Amino acid sequence: MKKILLLFLFFVLVAGGAFISITRDWQAPEIKLPETKYVNHELLGTASDNRGLGEICYYLDGKSDNKTCLNAGGSAGYEIKVDLSAIVDGEHEVCISAADGNRVFPNKADLCRSYTLDKVPPKGVLEAATRYMQRGGAAAVFVSTPEPETDLQVMVGNYQFPFMSSADGTRHFAVFAHPHDIEMADFKPLVQIKDLAGNTRRLLIGTNSKDRVFNTDNLNVPHSFIESKALEMLNKEGSDKETFLEMNRTVRAASRDKLKSETSAAEAIAPMWHGAFYRNAGAPKAQFADHRTYLLDNEKIDQQIHFGLDIAGLAAMPIRAANDGVVAFADYVGIYGNCILVNHGAHVSTLYAHLSQIDVTPGTKVSKEQIIGRSGNTGMAGGDHLHYATYVADVPVEPTEWFDPAWLKTRIDDIYQQFKATE
Ligand SMILES: [Zn+2]
């Protein structure tokens, strides 16, 4: 009997020791709150615990007797939404407390942070905008804000166009486009202003756009063209359909992405252009947004859209910058071959492609009509010509508009002058 009692005591000690060692192993939950200064209707806090969470609560302004709580049910990570919609704007302290799932000795943690609560959307005034534009073309808008704002965009469908702002942050100018693939019914350009608390204001830009029909074009692809370009662009031999499609689809998409990133990365500077853009001399061979069908041995093998203007003149003719600007990029890029991108400011840039020679380097300031390279047939070019394109942000637009002094003055420069005049 004494032996049994001793054995029982032994088991109690072992079990008790094990119980304490297990429970002592539990750590307090980790709580995180967003490290921002401004918040609006809600904020999200997170709690995590490697052995599971129990009750999570939040309370405001030190009122720990007025907590909003929920049970995380033993999950390892939990997001708690702090509802601030009924709280008056101003400075507030948000605290989150969390306990882990240990029922006997729950470990607890607390975290508090102060926030400026602001639920009032920013204000903005549409001061001036281009009245008429065309599909594929460009327009401008000038907006003022009573408070300094830094996050403004023109939204056209899924496309976004950045603003440039005055030094005090209250006046904003942007060039935007009606991208060629945005249907007329979907063209509703908006200015979106977002403040630091995340409140947004949207203003409708009333610019009227006119639809247009883009050209269609059939291109017969010779096997000899594929053969020579496969060596240049893919560094491999081949003259068949697959080789052509690899260049015309895969390399084309990668080249466009590369240019998109270069136009987006171009330094945000004020407009540097003076008067109409210069059109390099030569015969027009293809237009903006031509819808091209490619034929190989009379079989339709591909369709692509051409986002520039093709100009053919003498072989290796000097190529001149269309206007004052800064060279943003100069290198070989897939379908474009040797190309130069010039940043003219206000997120407008021009591209010169298929060159045989590049005479400038990134960062170089160029002036209108300055020679920057020579034409050629590098990249996806069948013969010597200049592929000239105009971009607003990373969206290609109709280049010929910018050659027209009256268009440039009334559609873009007059809006910019109003923005400038108030500085
Ligand atoms: Zn072209």
How many other CB atoms sit within 10 Å of the CB of residue 361? 11
Q: What pLDDT is stored for residue 248 in this prediction?
A: 94
Nearest to 135 by CA among 213, 33, 66, 32: 213
Distance from the alpha carbon of residue 341 to the mean position of ligand 1, in angstroms: 15
Looking at residue 1, its pLDDT comes to 63
pLDDT of residue 423: 58
* Interval between CA 387 and ligand 1 midpoint (Å): 4
* Residue 371 and residue 225 in contact, taking contact as beta carbons nearer than 8 Å: no
CA of 362 to the centre of ligand 1 (A): 22
| Token reading at 375 | 């034409």
What separation in Å is there between the alpha carbon of 228 and the centre of ligand 1? 18
d(CA 419, CA 141): 9
Give the distance (Å) from ligand 1 centre to CA of residue 388: 7
What's the one-letter identity of residue 276? A
Backbone φ/ψ region at 10: left (φ over 0), alpha (ψ -120 to 50), beta: alpha
| Interval between CA 381 and ligand 1 midpoint (Å) | 8
Would you say 283 and 312 are in contact if contact means Cβ atoms under 8 Å apart?
A: yes
262-299: pLDDT as tens digits: 999 999 999 999 999 999 999 999 999 999 999 999 99
Q: Is 101 helix (H, G, I), strand (E, B) or coil?
A: coil
CA of residue 306 to ligand 1 center, whole Å: 6
Cα–ligand 1 centroid distance for 391 (angstroms):
14
Do the bridges between strand 200-204 and strand 190-194 make them parallel or antiparallel, or are there none, so unpaired? antiparallel
What is the model's pLDDT at position 297?
95
Distance 288 CA to ligand 1 centre (A): 9
**What confidence score (pLDDT) does residue 13 get?**
72
Render the burial of 59-79: b for 16+ CB within 10 Å, e for the rest. Answer: bbeeeeeeeeeeebeeeeebe
Contact 386, 310 (CB under 8 A): yes
Query: Helices marked H in 249-378 — which ranges?
Result: 252-265
CA distances for 22 relative to 72, 105, 178, angstroms: 21, 11, 65
Neighbours of 212 (CB within 10 A): 13
All residues at 6 or more sequence positions from 140 whose CB lies less than 8 Å from its CB, including other chains? 129, 130, 173, 174, 175, 176, 411, 412, 415, 416
Using one digit for the tens of pLDDT, what is the confidence trace for 354-400? 999 999 999 999 999 999 999 999 999 999 999 999 999 999 999 99
Check residue 101 and give its pLDDT.
Answer: 84
The two tokens of residue 12 are 């109690």
- Ligand 1 centroid from CA 395, angstroms: 16
- Type and span of the H or E element at 112: strand 108-117
The one-letter code for the residue type at 382 is G
Whether residue 200 contacts residue 194, with contact meaning beta carbons closer than 8 Å, is answered with yes
- Rounded to the nearest angstrom, the distance between the alpha carbon of 152 and the centre of ligand 1 is 33
What are the sequence ranges of the domains in the chain? 24-117, 125-212+415-421, 216-392
User: Which residues does residue 220 pair with via DSSP β-bridges, in sequence order?
Assistant: 295
pLDDT at 23: 57
| Confidence at residue 83, expressed as pLDDT on a 0 to 100 scale | 93
Please tell me what DSSP assigns to residue 361.
Answer: -
CB 93 within 8 A of CB 114: yes
Fold classified for 216-392: Glucose Permease (Domain IIA) (2.70.70)
Chosen CATH of 125-212+415-421 out of 3.40.50.300, 2.60.40.10, 3.40.1190.20, 3.40.50.150: 2.60.40.10
Q: In the Cβ-directed half-sphere of 417, how many Cα atoms lie within 13 Å? A: 8
- For the chain, residues with pLDDT lower than 50 are none
At the fourth CATH level, the homologous superfamily of domain 24-117 is chitin-binding protein cbp21 (2.70.50.50)
